[in-house]
Amino acid sequence: MTEYIRYAYQRVCSYHLTNKTGLHLDWAAFEEETGDMAGAIQALQNALKHQPNKAILSLRQIGVLRRLQTDPAQIENAFDSAVQTASEASLGEFFLIKQARYHLKVKNNKGKAMEVLRTGLKRDPASSALLYALIDCELQQLPLDVTAVLRIFDEVTVTEGLSHDQKVDFLERKILFLEDFGSDVRELRAAHHQYYELTGQAPRGRKRAFGEDEDEAMDQVPAKKPFENPPPSLLSTPPMANPYGVPMGVPPAVNAWPAPPQMMASPVGFPGYPPQAMAWPAAASYGQTWPPYQATST
């Protein structure tokens, strides 16, 4: 049965539906589940021939090589091939960040991870994604080296080619980092001064820390006017009569409910009802209207 399924996948993915990425991934997963790792890699390589710029195919191929615990050089070659064949610069940066994370988390090699990122920065020095990943490499270290992180921040903020907004964003992040982990208030004050020279205003990060932005936003919200007149929805329908004598659709403040009718006093019977209608019969005449009881013999 396995051979029939494999043959069906080969025919469909190689001739009939070559652009269906999901089928190629299913074929590779089928081969891996059956223990044929070489067949899974071959299936993904076949898919990359038809769709060379599909990131998910390249990532799945790298994942198969990693699970196979193959030679690390093959994984490096797969990453390099994905970066070189990327059709867009953003896609190449995506694979570079993935490669750096592999070295940082799987191989526990921070130096190699930062080397990969710096290689990408040579092509595009102002890439925010690569610069953030470079900072993240230092932030992920335990114990945290505050001096090394600040060194990366200083290196990033003076990078040539950064736009004004990028510099502002990196300075905000540096200030927040110093607020959380800094040990010298002079460094924090220097960062604030640098931010003020660049923007001419106080850092937004500090305002958010003390809730000033929220207060300013609340001050700008106009106060609601008191409820003076009934909403139009209450008066939009024409008044309708009801059995109680009060028109429907009119607010109580406009046409209040009438007072209950005054109860009538009656010497006999219940209050509010005529004596003739509800009076109880006299005790002397009780039972006289009933016919006499006739005893019958058995």
Q: For residue range 256-265, list pLDDT tens digits in order.
A: 555 555 555 4
Model's pTM, two decimal places? 0.65
Residues 6+ apart with CB under 8 A from 195: 168, 171, 172, 175, 202, 203
For residue 136, give the amino acid letter: D
How far is C-alpha 121 from the chain's CA centre? 31
Tokens of 124: 């595009």
> Cα separation of 247 and 241, whole Å?
5
Confidence (pLDDT) at 216: 52
Could you list the beta-strand ranges (E) of 154-294: none
Tokens 């690569």, residue located: 130
Of the candidates 28, 27, 50, the residue with the CA atom closest to the CA atom of residue 41: 28
Q: Contact at 8 Å (CB) between 115 and 152?
A: no
pLDDT tens for 151-173 read: 999 999 888 889 999 999 999 99
For residue 188, pLDDT over 90 is answered with yes
CB atoms closer than 10 angstroms to residue 170: 20
Q: How many CB atoms lie within 10 A of CB 184?
A: 11
The answer, yes or no, to whether residue 52 has pLDDT greater than 90, is: no
**What number of CA atoms fall less than 13 Å from residue 138's CA on the CB side?**
16
* pLDDT one-digit tens code per residue, 98-128: 999 999 999 999 999 999 999 999 999 999 9
- pLDDT value of residue 214: 46
Residue 209 DSSP SS3: helix
Rg (Cα) of the chain, in Å, rounded? 42
